[in-house]
Structure 1
Amino acid sequence: MSTRRSGSSRKKKGPTKGSGGQGRRKLEGRGPTPKASDRTWHKNYRPPAPKKKTERTTDAVAGRNPVVEALEAEVPASTLYVAGGVEMDDRIRKSVRLAADRGIPVLEATEAQLARITDNARHQGIALQVPPYEYENGIDLVVELMDDWSKGYRHKPPLVVALDSITDPHNLGAILRSASAFSADAVVIPSRRSVGVTSTVWKTSAGAAARVPVGQVSNLNSALTEYKKAGMFTIGLDGDGDQSLPGLPLATEPLCVVVGSEGTGLSRLVAENVDQIVSIPISSELESLNASLAAGITLYEIARLRAKID
């Protein structure tokens, strides 16, 4: 006699028909469990490190005159690019000839390629690719100049221009040009918060960046202290200086001229550390001189005074 009640059914052990397929569909696409450090909601989550900005490993001099000047000055270069179908003139022909004489490859480029190579500068259909500038050690450079002078290897006392946070490449290029014109031995820049030798500097300097060495220091104030230990005098340019530039007494001594930044001038620590603050007399108190112009005027006056003792 059966004991089952009416309407009841016996459940079978194990999965029902088709349950395996249903389970596979539910798990489909989930993959392995992510690590705790990858789960944004987990206490051990670690966000990915920000990507480092890619630095350009090369630079380019753009424009017909700057390229000719750079090649004539034997600026280190890797490739000369000329736009396909560009109207040839004497400057482009000269650039191609100078590059060939130096063994620099000459390649045809499209307008888009030239725009990328020159960072959208006005290239006039030609660009010269140059490697990163190789700076000298700004302290060793000056110490060596002083050592050569003290031993009689140099006729004139060393003259150096140091830049206190100059950030405009046009100013650096113009200062290099003045340094070359008035026989300065070197230009020194800080490694931080200061413009370096870029394609704009090459262009503005008209090749002077290849004639005047540029030294780099980690701290300008500390470098000035080392210069003074080596026997060099230091002056800073400022409108409120206690010494007027004409007839500068220190002009004929080993000298470092410090030029302040475009906006704020000399930093406080540098102003306190230099031997003398020098001002350039101007006719109007409402006017101020651009950093590169002030450097050029000062270097001219120093060259004029030094010429009197030759």
Structure 2
Amino acid sequence: MSEQIEGRNAVMEAFRSGQVIDKLFILDGCQDGPVRSIAREARKKDTIINYVPKERLDQLSQTGSHQGVIAQIAAYEYSTVEDILEKAREKGEPPFIFLLDNIEDPHNLGAIIRTANLAGAHGVIIPKRRAVGLTATVAKTSAGALNYTPVAKVTNLGKTIDELKEAGIWFVCADMDGDRMYDLNLKGPIGMVIGNEGEGVSRLIREKCDFTAAIPMKGDIDSLNASVAAGILAYEIVRQRLS
């Protein structure tokens, strides 16, 4: 499936036909009737709207005729947080959920979804803003895992953590300044939080976590790729769940 739709008529038709649009890019300052109608449709569907300069649209455009509007569409349908919890109930297992704090690289997101599937996680939660959605690149990198692992998209990751805590789920985030992951009890219902490629887990999200897990590192550089960190911490959780 194409990753984006360009031009006013094509974008409006995509909204009307019910396609899942991750992000909408509109020429900043453009206020004519058709563009206002598209923005109205986007707000109805709770789509993120980004008003950007012409240079940014030209850079994003694949056709060269965007008419001031580009929509990035999801390659897969999103699930809900409740779908993820239901999957755990169906399997008779304590929930094991990946939460991703602003992962921006589609290859990282695809690799993490693949790891989530193989580690037996019940789903992945991503935020709507400042993060990549389920693009065709993500789907390809996940190597088929997107067909089996639900991905939910939420407006507020912190609020979602609070709600899941009320459902009895504990949270651990990967952070260099945390306790050694082998020293933590990561059994039971758990949400594993992995941060942005550059900045790691944001302070607000980190403060909501019950544990902060450091992955022991012996080398000369100080950080791991986000998808690699997700894999290492996930498999420590798997090891503890199996023991």
Counterpart of 1:192? 129
Alignment CA distance shift 1:289-1:144 (3 Å): same
- Maintained 8 Å contact 2:172/2:191: yes
Counterpart of 2:52? none
Q: 1:131 deviation in Å? A: 7.0
Relative to the length of structure 1, the TM-score reads 0.54
Distance 1:304 1:208 in 2: 21
1:270-281 to 2 correspondences below 5 Å: 270-281=205-216
Q: 1:136 deviation in Å? A: 1.5
Counterpart of 2:103? 166
Is 1:49 aligned to residue 31 of structure 2?
Answer: yes
Is 1:307 aligned to residue 242 of structure 2?
Answer: yes
1:1-310 to 2 correspondences below 5 Å: 49=31, 52=35, 132-138=75-81, 140-144=82-86, 148=89, 154-241=91-178, 243-246=179-182, 248-250=184-186, 252-284=187-219, 286-308=221-243
Alignment CA distance shift 1:133-1:247 (3 Å): same
AA aligned to 1:286 is I
Alignment CA distance shift 1:181-1:48 (3 Å): closer
Q: 1:284 deviation in Å? A: 2.8
Which secondary structure state, in structure 2, belongs to the residue aligned with residue 277 of structure 1? strand
CA RMSD of aligned residues (A): 2.5
Distance 2:134 2:74 in 1: 11
Q: How many residues align?
A: 182
- Maintained 8 Å contact 2:173/2:213: yes
- Maintained 8 Å contact 1:173/1:203: yes
Percent identity of paired positions between Structure 1 and Structure 2: 42
AA aligned to 1:136 is S
Return the structure number with greater relative CO, CA threshold 8 A, min gap 6.
2
Distance 1:245 1:143 in 2: 25
More strand by share: 2
Distance 1:262 1:246 in 2: 23
Which secondary structure state, in structure 1, belongs to the residue aligned with residue 182 of structure 2? coil
Distance 1:240 1:52 in 2: 47
Gaps of 5+ in 2: 1-28, 40-61, 64-72
Gaps of 5+ in 1: 1-46, 56-118, 121-129
Distance 2:102 2:222 in 1: 21
State the Cα deviation string for residues 81-117 of structure 1 (Å, max 9, x = none).
Answer: xxxxxxxxxxxxxxxxxxxxxxxxxxxxxxxxxxxxx
State the Cα deviation string for residues 245-285 of structure 1 (Å, max 9, x = none).
Answer: 125312x2100000000000011110111111111001036
Relative to the length of structure 2, the TM-score reads 0.68
Alignment CA distance shift 1:220-1:131 (3 Å): closer
Which secondary structure state, in structure 1, belongs to the residue aligned with residue 207 of structure 2? helix
